[in-house]
Amino acid sequence: MSVFFDHRAGTNTSSVHTDIQWHPTFALLAVATKIDDADNEAQGAVSLFFDEGEPVEDINIQKNCAPTTMSWHPTRKILSVGWENGDITLWNEHEHEGSCASDGHKAPVNILSWSSNGTRLISGDERGVMIAWRCDSRGQLHQLQNYQKRSSYTHCIFRPVAGGQDPFYNNYTALARAAVEGDETALDMFGTWNKSGMGNSLLSQPGQMYAAESLSCYIGSEDGIIFHIDEKLVLRECANVETMIKSMLIYEAKNILVVVTTTMMLIQFSCAPDGSLSELMKVKLSGKSSITCVVWTGPGLMATVAGEDVVRLWDLDKDNNFSLGGALDQINCLTYSASKRILAGGLVNGKIAMWQHRAGSYAQEHWIVLPAIELSDSFIQIQWSPAHSLLAANNISDVIILNEQPISTSISVQSAVVQISPYHVQLETLDPPNILSIRTDIHIRGVSNSEDHVVLWNSKKIVVYEINEEKNFARLAGTFDIDSPLTAIYQQTVFTADTSSITARNFQGTIKQTMSLAEQEGIPISIDICGHYLVIATDNGFVKGWDISRRESRQYISPKNISESLPDTSLVTKVKINCNGTKIAIQLKKVNGEPDSRLLIWYVEQDILLGYDFSAGQTIHPISENGSADMDYEDLITGCFANPDQKGGVETAAVEQSNSEDVSRRYPREVLWDPLDPRLLVVQASPLSVDIADKSHIKKPTPTGVFRTKSSAEKKPELDDRIVSLFATADNGVLLHDSFPMEPGFHKLLGVSVPSFYFILQPEDVQKADGSISAVPNGNASSGETRTEGLKERVSAVTMRNFVGLEKSNSEVRQAMLDFAYHLTIGNLDEAFKAIKLIKSETVWENMAKMCVKTRRLDVAALCLGHMGHARGAQALRDSANEPELNARVAMLAIQLGMLEEAEQLYMSCGRYDLLNKLYQANNQWSKAIAVAERHDRIHLRSTYYNFARHCELSGDIGAAINGYEKSETHRFEVPRMLFENVQELEAYVIKSKDKKLLGWWAQYLESNGEMDSALQFYQAAEDIMSFVRIWCYCGRFDEAISIASNTNDRAACYHLARQLENQERFTEAVQFYGKAQAYTNATRLCRANQLDSELISYAMYSTEDDMVICARYYEETGANWDKAIMLYHKSGQVGKALELAFEHQQFTALQHITSNLDSSVEPETLHTCAQFFLEHQQYSKAVDLLLLAKKYLEALDICIDKHISITEDLAEQISPEKDAEPEYKRVLFERIGECCMLQGAYHLATKKFTQAGNRVKAMRALLKSGDTEKIIFFAGVSRQKEIYVMAANYLQRLDWRKDPEIMKNIITFYTKGRALESLSGFYDACAQVEIDEYQNYEKALGALSEALKCMNKAKMQDVSSQEAKINFLKRRISLLKKFVQARRTYEEDVDEAMKQCLLLLEEPDLDTGVRSGDIYGFMVEHYATAGDYQKAYHLVQELKQRLPNASLAYYVNNTVLEQIKRNVGLDEPTIGAAETPGIEEEIEEEIPEDFGF
C-alpha cells in the first residue's frame, strides 16, 4: 500500500511537451518541449528534472527548431536529442550546453537508439539517412558509417547479448578499467565498493553493470522493411512486412523479434545468429481502432491498447490472449514497471489506471486492479522510471511526476499512527479506541510516535505534535528544518541521523547530544527504539546500540559488522531491538536487491548470530565470526525440541515440520518485538518472488478473532502472507511458535502487544465511488489541522490464538499464558503447567485445548479436557489413539472442541479422506462428502451415496433419495421398499427405470396377484424368457412356448419347456429342448428309454464320461452300431475297451482314429498290439510311432533299419532314451541310432548320437564323412582326444592348406596335441617342398625342414631303423639347403666365392633330394649375365639343358636374361630346341615366346 506525491515539472505554460524520457539508472527526467512563445527566440528545448519536479540548474539545450526524439545513455548521464533540422545534441553532466553533431542529417531525426553499454548510437531521419556513431569516454560522438535509403526509419532495437548475461557483476578489474577510462559512474561505484559485496549505493544503480555488449541491431522503416546492422556495420535487408511498423520488440528469452504493424498484424520472426529473420507466426490483433501502444508486461507477455477501455495481453509462449478491464474509460498509453510488476495506463479522463501482477504465472486471474490515480486532462504519454518508484505523465500542457512511497506507520504501547495521504496521518488510540486526524503542510516521508507525541518528517523538515491525555487533540510542539532520512522519538527527545552521526534533539531542534559514527562504520540506513534502547544499522553492515534511558545516551553495544559474519554478500536493511536490549533482529537483502529469506537475531550478551530461514522453514544455526556454524551450540538448539514426556519427541517434531511447511518459501517482510516480553518476536512472512504457495488452506479471522478456514467455494489461488510468531532465548535459540495466514483485508502487520496483533487495513475510505485515489496537490492542507469526527479505523486488532477469552485479563495472567506457550513450544510440560496452575477459568482451558489443535499436543489436550469437564471429548480422544496418523487424532480433538474446519484441514493433510468423509456426513455436508468420496475415498463411495439417500428419505426428499440409492446400486431393494405404500408411483418408477431386475420383480408381483397378461408384458420387458415360457406352459399354450424357446435359445426356458414336454410324453421335442438347454444327461436318458438311437450319439458326445460309458454299453448290448460304441468308449477314456472292440469286430476306421490320438498314458501292451497290427498292414511309420509310445526303442529302431524309414531329427529325439535310463542301455541305443544315421547318410545326426553315446571317435568319423570343415575343427577342439586330433589333422591335410594359413595352423596344432610327431614331421617336409617348388624360398624351406627334423627326433616310432633313416635323410636335405642358402648369402659379399660354392654344390651326388640343380644354374646364369659374361652364361645354360633335358629353361632363368644371352652370343636363329620330349615343346613355346637356339 502506497501513496503518490505529485510534482509538476516547472515548465513553460505556453509550451507543448512532445516527449518525456526517464534515465535508465538515475532519477532524471528529460522533457522535450516545443515553445509557442513568440517572444522567445528558441522554438524547441529539452529540460531535465529531479524526482520532485525540481529542474536541473544550468541546463541550456535549446534550438530554433523543435526536438523530435530523445534517448538516454544506458549507464551515464548523457542525453542524445534529435532536432527537426537534423542536428543531434549530446548533453552530459559536465558540458551543460552539450555538443552538437550537425554534419550527418539534413532532415528531422526520428530515431536515436543506444547499445546496451552505450558505446554505439544509431540515428535515423525521415529522408532515409542512417548513421552509426561511436561514443567515447568523454561523451563525444564519432561517425562510423553512413547509410542512404529511400524511406524513413521508424524503429531501432539492439539485439540482446547471446546467451544472456548476469546483470550483477562484481569484478574489480573490469570496474577499475572502466573508471580509469573516464567513466565517472564506474569511479563512483568503485569508491563505494566494500569487501562484503556491492554497497547500497551500487544497488541504487542496478543498470550500471559492465557486461558483454551486443552491437548488432534491427531497423524498421516506414514502408515495412526490416534491416539488420551487424557488429561490423554491414547493413542488409532481412524481412518485409509490407506496411508501416507500429512497434518492434525483442523477446530475449527465445531470441524472437516481434513486429506490430499499423494494420494490427502481429508477426513473429526467429532471429538467426547472423541476423537473418525467418517468419514464425502471423496473426491479426483485435481492437476498435489502430493500436496506439505496445509494451512488454512479462516474459513473452505483450500488452496493447487500441482505443478501448481494456488492455489486451498476448501470451506469445502459450499462443493465447486475455484482457484486463476496470479502467472505465478509453486508454491512450501504457507503461510497465518490471520491478513493481505494475502496468499503468493513461486515460482520456485524466486518470491513471493500474493493474498489478500478484502470482507466479501471468494468467488473467493473477492480475488485480489497483485504485486509479486521479489527476487532470488526458494523457498522451506515461512512463515508469526503470530504477525508481517514479511515474511521469505527460498531458501536453503539463508534466507530472508521481513519486510513490509506501505509507508511513508507527506504533507505541498505547497508540498507532497511519499515513492516509501525503499530508495526512491518523492517530488511533488502541485502548480505549479513539481516532485523531492530523493534517500538515509537508510531504510526509516518515512518522514516529511515543505515548504523548507524534513526529512527522520529510527530507527538509521535522514537525512534532503533542497529544493531550484524552487523545482527541494534537498541538504543534515544535518544528525545525533538517535533512534527516531517519528519525525516531523517545519521550522528549527526537533522534535524527546524518551521514556520520546520530543526534539527539529537543522538539525545537536544539542538539542535546551527538553520537558519532566511525568512517568505516558507514551511513545509517535503519533506526529503531524499543523500551529504553536505540539501535541503528549502517550501509556497511554495522549494528550499534545505545541505552537512552538516562539524560545522556550510553553506548552499551560494541559495533558489530554483520556483513563480515555472513557466509555470503547479503546486505543489512533493517534492525529491530527487543525491550531489554539483549537481542536485535536483522533483516537482509541480496546484492541484486531481492529480499533475503533469512532473519538473523544477534544475541548481544553471548555475541552470537542465530535466526530463522523462511525459505526452508528452519532454524539457522549459530554463525561465528568466520561465517561457520557453532556445532556445540547447534546441539543445544537441537535438544530443545525433544519432549521428555513422549517417545523421541515424535509428535513435537511433527508439529515443527507442519509449521515449517506453512512458513516455507517466504521472506520476512515486517519484524516486530513485543514491547514488554523480550522473547516474543512476530514476523509477517511474504511469498518469495513468484513462488506463491497454494491458498487452499487459507484461514481468516472472524470478527471475534477466532480463526476459521475458507470454505471450498471461497478457495482460490492468491497471495498468502503469514503471521509467524517466534520465541528467541539464549538457552533454546530461535523456536517457531505459531503461524497463521493474514486476512486479505489487512495490508500489513503494524505491531504486537500481548494479547493482540495489530494490522493496518486496506485504505477503503480514501477510495471514491469510482475506485480512484485523489493525489493531494501541494499546499492544500493547513498546518496542524486535527479532527476526530467521521473517521474510520485503519488499525485492526486480532487476539492471539492462546489469549482468546483473556483479552481483559491482568498482566499476571497474560504473563502466565505467555510462559505457558513458551514452555509448551520447547516441550517442557512441567514448567508449562506450573505457569498456569493458578488459572481457574474454564474459558482459558478451552482456549488452551484449542491451541493444542495447532500445536498437536494431545497429552496437554487431555489435561485441558479434564479441567473443562469434557468427558465425551476425553473419551473420544482415548478412542482415537488407535489411529496411526497424529493429525487424525488431533482432528478428533478439534471435532470435540467444535473446530470442524480445522479438523477438515487436518484430515486432508494426513490423507485420511475416509474420516473426512464421515465428518462431512455427520455434519450434513453431503455435497462435500460426496466430492471427497468421488475423488479420494472411492472405496466408500457407494456407502456415502447410500447414507445420503437414507438422509434424504428421512428428510422427505424422495427424488434425491432415489438418486442416492441408484448411485449406491441399492435401488433394486431400497426404492421398492420406500415406495411400496404408493403402488402407482412404484410402478411408474419401475417402468421409467427400465432396470431388468426391477421389471422382473414387478412382473413376479403382478403374477402373484393373478395379473398374468400384465406380468407377461413386464417379463418381456425384463427379457426374462424363462418366466415368459413358464407362464405359457402354465396356461397350456405349448406352441407359443416352443416358438419363444426356439427363437431365443434361453437355456433355462428350454429346460423348463423340456420338462413340461416330457410330462406331456412329447419325448422327441423334449429331447430337442434338453439339448438346447445343454442338459445332455436328461437328453440321453430319454433317448435310451425311447429307443431314439439316431439322436442318442449326438447328445452322448457332449455328455459326461459316465453318460458316455452308459450309452456305449447301450450300443454294445443292442449288438449294432459297434463304431458308435467304440467312439464313446474312446471319448470316455476307456481306450483299452475301445481297442478291444475294434480288434474284435475289425473296425479298422475306428482303430485308425483311436491310434491317432494315443499317447504315453495308454498301457504299453495295448500300444504294442496296435503296432503289430500296423506292421501287418505295412504301415511302418505308424507302427514305429506306437512302439516309441510304448518305449520299445530298439524294436522301433530295427523297423527303421529294416524298412528304410528315414530317421529325422525329431524321430531321433523320440527314439532317444529317457534321462533316467540305465547308462549301458543309453550307450547301446545311442550307438544304434548313430549307426543307422550313418547308413542313411545323416552324418551330423550320427555325430550327435555317437557323442551322446560317449563314443567321440565314431562321432568324428561321422563328422569327417560330412566334410563340414568348420564343425570338424570345432569338434576336435572340444573333444581333446589324441586320436581325434590326428583324424582332424589328416582330414585337413587333404584340403588345400597352401592357400589357407588358418588350416595350416590347425594341422600343426592338432598333430601337436595328438602327439603324432611323425605325421607332423611329414607335414613340415611337405611344406618345405612347397616352398622350394612353388616359391623357390629356400630360407623358409630350411626352417620347415628344421622343424620336421625336430619332430622326427622327438617321435617314438616302433621301427627305430626306419626312424634313423628318415632322420639321416632330413639331415642330408638340410645340409644341402644350408649350403645353397649360404652361397646365396655369400654372393652379396664375395661373388667368386659364391660361384665356387655353387659349382661344388652341383657336384653333390644326391643334390636334387635337397636342392633343385636348376635353381643353382639359374642363380649362376643370372649372375654372369648381369656381369656381362654372356659366354659363360651361355655355357651354363647348355649344362642345364644337358642335366635337365626335359625341364623348361624359363622355370629357372628369367626370360629377359635369356633374351640378353641370345642377343649377345650372336644366335639369330634357333639351333637347339627348347625341349626334345614330345609334347613339351608346345608348352615351352607358350612360356618362351621365342626359341633362343639353346
pLDDT of residue 1346: 82
Nearest to 798, CA basis, from 675, 664, 682, 711: 682
Separation in Å, CA 67 to CA 70, 81, 115, 1437: 8, 7, 22, 116
What is the C-alpha separation between 10 and 59, in angstroms, rounded?
Answer: 13
Q: Indicate if the pLDDT at residue 39 is higher than 90.
A: no
Percent of the chain with pLDDT over 90: 22
Q: Chain centroid to CA 1191: how far?
A: 66
Confidence of residue 1305 (pLDDT cuts 50, 70, 90): confident
Q: What is the pLDDT of residues 155-170, one digit of tens each?
A: 999 988 765 444 333 3
Confidence of residue 912 (pLDDT cuts 50, 70, 90): very high
C-alpha cell at 457: 518528517
What is the C-alpha separation between 919 and 926, in angstroms, rounded?
Answer: 10
Asked if residues 88 and 47 have their Cβ atoms less than 8 Å apart, the reply is: no
Q: Lowest-pLDDT range, 906-915, 1050-1059, 1281-1290?
A: 1281-1290
C-alpha cell at 714: 471461497
Q: Indicate if the pLDDT at residue 739 is higher than 60.
A: yes
Nearest to 99, CA basis, from 91, 108, 107, 110: 91
Asked if residues 595 and 667 have their Cβ atoms less than 8 Å apart, the reply is: yes
- Residues sharing a CB contact under 8 Å with residue 1214, sequence separation 6 or more, in sequence order: 1185, 1188
**Residue 722: other Cβ atoms inside 10 A:** 21
Nearest to 248, CA basis, from 313, 312, 295, 300: 295
| Strand-by-strand arrangement of the 415-421 sheet | 409-411, 415-421, 424-429, 434-439, 785-787
What is the C-alpha separation between 385 and 392, in angstroms, rounded?
Answer: 8
Q: What is the pLDDT of residues 1164-1209, one digit of tens each?
A: 656 666 665 666 555 566 666 666 665 666 666 666 766 666 677 6
Using left for φ > 0, alpha for ψ between -120 and 50, and beta otherwise, residue 143 falls in beta
What is the C-alpha separation between 412 and 718, in angstroms, rounded?
Answer: 32
Q: What is the pLDDT of residues 170-201, one digit of tens each?
A: 344 444 445 544 555 454 444 444 433 433 33
pLDDT of residue 648: 36
Orientation angle between helical segments 1391-1402 and 1360-1386, nearest 10 degrees: 150
pLDDT higher at 1305 or 582: 582
Q: Lowest-pLDDT range, 8-12, 79-83, 1361-1365?
A: 8-12
1485-1489: average pLDDT = 36
Amino acid identity of residue 755, one-letter, is P
| Strand-by-strand arrangement of the 120-125 sheet | 109-114, 120-125, 129-135, 141-148
C-alpha cell at 168: 550483477
What is the C-alpha separation between 514 and 552, in angstroms, rounded?
Answer: 10
C-alpha cell at 1281: 582326444
| Strand-by-strand arrangement of the 756-761 sheet | 746-753, 756-761, 795-799
Amino acid identity of residue 1346, one-letter, is S
- Residues sharing a CB contact under 8 Å with residue 789, sequence separation 6 or more, in sequence order: none
Which DSSP state fits 161?
A: P
Q: What is the 3-state secondary structure (H, E, C) of 649-665?
A: HHHHHHHHHHHHHHHCC
Please report which helix (H) or strand (E) contains residue 1129, including its range.
helix 1122-1131
What is the C-alpha separation between 582 and 678, in angstroms, rounded?
Answer: 8
C-alpha cell at 707: 480463526
Q: What is the pLDDT of residues 45-99, one digit of tens each?
A: 888 998 888 888 878 888 888 999 999 999 888 999 999 989 999 888 776 666 7
Asked if residues 1114 and 1102 have their Cβ atoms less than 8 Å apart, the reply is: no
Q: Specify burial of residue 167 (Cβ count, 10 A radius: 0-12, 13-18, 19+).
A: exposed
Separation in Å, CA 571 to CA 406, 626, 914: 21, 16, 50
What is the C-alpha separation between 1284 and 1491, in angstroms, rounded?
Answer: 54
Q: What is the pLDDT of residues 793-808, one digit of tens each?
A: 888 899 887 787 777 7
- Helices (DSSP H) in 475-590: which residue ranges? 562-565
Which DSSP state fits 365?
A: G
- Residues sharing a CB contact under 8 Å with residue 1178, sequence separation 6 or more, in sequence order: none
Confidence of residue 660 (pLDDT cuts 50, 70, 90): low
What's this model's pTM, rounded to 2 decimal places? Answer: 0.57
Q: Indicate if the pLDDT at residue 543 is higher than 90.
A: yes
Residue 796: phi and psi, rounded to 5, are: -120, 135
Asked if residues 112 and 123 have their Cβ atoms less than 8 Å apart, the reply is: yes
C-alpha cell at 1113: 454299453
Which DSSP state fits 271?
A: E
Percent of the chain with pLDDT over 70: 80
Q: Indicate if the pLDDT at residue 1363 is higher than 90.
A: no
**Residue 103: other Cβ atoms inside 10 A:** 12
Residues in the chain: 1494
Q: Indicate if the pLDDT at residue 1327 is higher than 60.
A: yes
Nearest to 359, CA basis, from 720, 777, 887, 850: 720
pLDDT of residue 637: 32
What is the C-alpha separation between 604 and 728, in angstroms, rounded?
Answer: 12
> Helices (H) and strands (E) in the chain — how many of each?
49, 64
Nearest to 329, CA basis, from 314, 313, 307, 344: 307
**Residue 200: other Cβ atoms inside 10 A:** 19
pLDDT of residue 1163: 59
What is the C-alpha separation between 94 and 79, in angstroms, rounded?
Answer: 12
Q: What is the pLDDT of residues 516-540, one digit of tens each?
A: 999 899 999 999 999 999 999 999 9
Using left for φ > 0, alpha for ψ between -120 and 50, and beta otherwise, residue 347 falls in beta
Orientation angle between helical segments 871-879 and 858-868, nearest 10 degrees: 150
Asked if residues 1294 and 1272 have their Cβ atoms less than 8 Å apart, the reply is: no
pLDDT mean across residues, the chain: 78
Highest mean pLDDT among 723-737, 1316-1330, 1429-1443: 723-737
C-alpha cell at 1450: 624359363
Q: What is the 3-state secondary structure (H, E, C) of 1135-1195?
A: HHHHHHHHHHCCCHHHHHHHHCCCCCCCCHHHHHHHHHHHHHCCCHHHHHHHHHHCCCHHH
- Residues sharing a CB contact under 8 Å with residue 952, sequence separation 6 or more, in sequence order: 958, 960, 961, 964
What is the C-alpha separation between 81 and 70, in angstroms, rounded?
Answer: 4
Q: What is the pLDDT of residues 1382-1425, one digit of tens each?
A: 888 888 888 888 888 888 877 777 777 778 777 788 888 888 88
- Residues sharing a CB contact under 8 Å with residue 943, sequence separation 6 or more, in sequence order: 968
